[in-house]
């Protein structure tokens, strides 16, 4: 089963993932896989932008602040994606996460990452 394709970017790699598979994992694991998805997508865009990878720090801060940092993270990811060459949809990610649809926001971030991977292949 081929789920990932690595595309070399800046210092790190963007990874093209099958979003349907990630959502299936979300339901099977009752949301636990989303924590790993959040950390990985943060690290990949940080590496792409030449920044320090801090995905697990974002997860830790989200837990410690009872989810408040998670909203900030969603908004900030829009800027990180824009810096990597995608569209800044940080407000959309924030609104989705405020309404309890954070997994949809992360899936949309993955759509942006997949599109950036396809641009690099062409």
Going from the C-alpha of 109 to that of each of 64, 103, 104, the distances in angstroms are: 23, 10, 9
Nearest partner of 121 among 17, 1, 43, 6, judged by Cα: 6
Number of structural domains in the chain: 1
At a CB cut-off of 8 Å and minimum separation 6, what does 66 contact? none
Write out pLDDT tens, residues 98-118: 999 999 999 999 999 999 988
What pLDDT, on the 0 to 100 scale, is given for residue 12?
Answer: 52
Dihedral over alpha carbons 31, 108, 91, 37 (to 10 degrees): 40
Domain range enclosing 64: 4-121
Question: Which residues in the chain show pLDDT less than 50?
Answer: 1-2, 5-11
* pTM assigned to the model: 0.86
Average predicted confidence (pLDDT) for the chain: 89
CA distances from 80 to 17, 27, 31, 54 (A): 18, 27, 24, 13
């Amino acid at each position: 089963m081929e789920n990932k394709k690595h595309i070399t970017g800046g210092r790190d790699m963007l990874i093209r993932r099958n979003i349907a598979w990630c959502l299936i994992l979300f339901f099977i694991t009752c949301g636990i896989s989303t924590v790993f998805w959040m950390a990985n997508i943060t690290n990949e865009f940080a590496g792409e932008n030449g920044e320090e990878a801090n995905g697990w720090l974002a997860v830790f801060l989200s837990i410690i602040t009872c989810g408040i940092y998670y909203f900030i993270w969603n908004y900030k990811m829009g800027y990180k994606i824009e810096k990597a060459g995608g569209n800044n949809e940080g407000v959309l990610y924030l609104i989705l996460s405020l309404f309890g649809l954070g997994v949809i926001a992360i899936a949309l971030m993955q759509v942006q990452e997949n599109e950036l991977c396809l641009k690099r292949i062409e």
